[in-house]
Amino acid sequence: MTIETTPRKQPRQARSQATVDALIEAVAQVLIEHGYEGATTARVAERAGVSVGSLYQYYPNKESLIAALIERHAGSFVTAIDEALAGAATASLEEGLRAIIRAGLDTHRIAPALHKILVEQVPRVGRMAEVMDTSRSVAKSIERLLRAHRERFPPERDPALAALVIETTLEALTHRAVIERPELLASGRMEKEMYSLLTGYLSSPPVLDVRSPRPRAGRKKKAASR
């Protein structure tokens, strides 16, 4: 009696595909217009120009419908990152970081309103939690980038952890900018800050002990005072 959350059928006919597309497009629109609470199946179906019955023909429940929408967006995001890295992989670490930053910002620039809703209102529960989690995949890509430039970091640096940190911060900054400070996106300032943050982070030596800072901890102070 577990709830199905995967699409019900792989539409093979053109008409079916059109319906599926219309539905996804419709959820997006309805989500933007009415918010998560206001996104009823009836409204989505109506907006898609099909009947509720048809909606359920392709998606077993509301969750799966929204999941599909998210999946598509998340997917395009992951793809963008990967492509960016693929293109820049051979290049320098800096090129790679820039590529990631730009890919992230670009993807979010497409449908900021939708992203806002997705981030702010859609509950990260059940299937949705999984689907919304592009982080792991993106983090993996970043980790790969870092490992490709292993010689640039001291051996104490854990690439997986650094990748997690980078992914998390980039995502958070992108969302905040998209949602609250779009002008920082347009002007390119956010991009600069992100770049500065990442290069600073990666060049900064791993902290040995944060808890008991020795008064004259030479290295740390120096690093910070530069």
Q: Does 169 bind a copy of itself (CB under 8 A)?
A: yes
Interface residue list for DNA (CB under 7 A): 3, 9, 11-13, 15-16, 18-19, 37-42, 50-54, 56-57, 60-63
Q: Does 46 bind a copy of itself (CB under 8 A)?
A: no
Distance from chain centroid for Cα 99 = 14
Q: How far is the CB of 64 from DNA (least distance, A)?
A: 8
Q: Does 51 bind a copy of itself (CB under 8 A)?
A: no
Which residue, 31 or 85, has its beta carbon nearer to DNA?
31
Q: Rounded CA gap, 149 and 117, in Å?
A: 37
Q: How far is the CB of 51 from a copy of itself (least distance, A)?
A: 13
Those residues with Cβ within 8 angstroms of residue 48's Cβ, 6 or more apart along the chain or in another chain: 19, 22, 23, 25, 26, 55
Q: Which does 160 bind (CB under 5 to 8 A by kind): DNA, a copy of itself, none?
A: none
Q: Which does 188 bind (CB under 5 to 8 A by kind): a copy of itself, DNA, none?
A: a copy of itself
DSSP states along the chain: -PPP-S-S----SHHHHHHHHHHHHHHHHHHHHHTTTT--HHHHHHHHTS-HHHHHHH-SSHHHHHHHHHHHHHHHHHHHHHHHHHHHTTS-HHHHHHHHHHHHHHHHHH-HHHHHHHHHTS---HHHHHHH--HHHHHHHHHHHHHHTGGGS-TT--HHHHHHHHHHHHHHHHHHHHHH-HHHHHTSHHHHHHHHHHHHHHHSPPPS-SSS--TT-HHHHHHHH-
Which residue, 32 or 36, has its beta carbon nearer to a copy of itself?
36
Window 182-201: residues binding a copy of itself (CB under 8 A): 184, 188-189, 191-193, 195-197, 199-201
Q: How far is the CB of 41 from DNA (least distance, A)?
A: 4
Q: Which does 36 bind (CB under 5 to 8 A by kind): a copy of itself, DNA, none?
A: a copy of itself
Q: How far is the CB of 135 from a copy of itself (least distance, A)?
A: 8
Which residue, 38 or 87, has its beta carbon nearer to DNA?
38
Q: Which two tokens stand for residue 90?
A: 């051979």
Which residues of the shown chain bind a copy of itself in the complex (CB under 8 A)? 1, 35-37, 93-95, 98, 101, 120-121, 123-125, 129, 135, 152, 161-162, 164-165, 168-169, 171-173, 176, 181, 184, 188-189, 191-193, 195-197, 199-211, 213, 220-221, 223-226
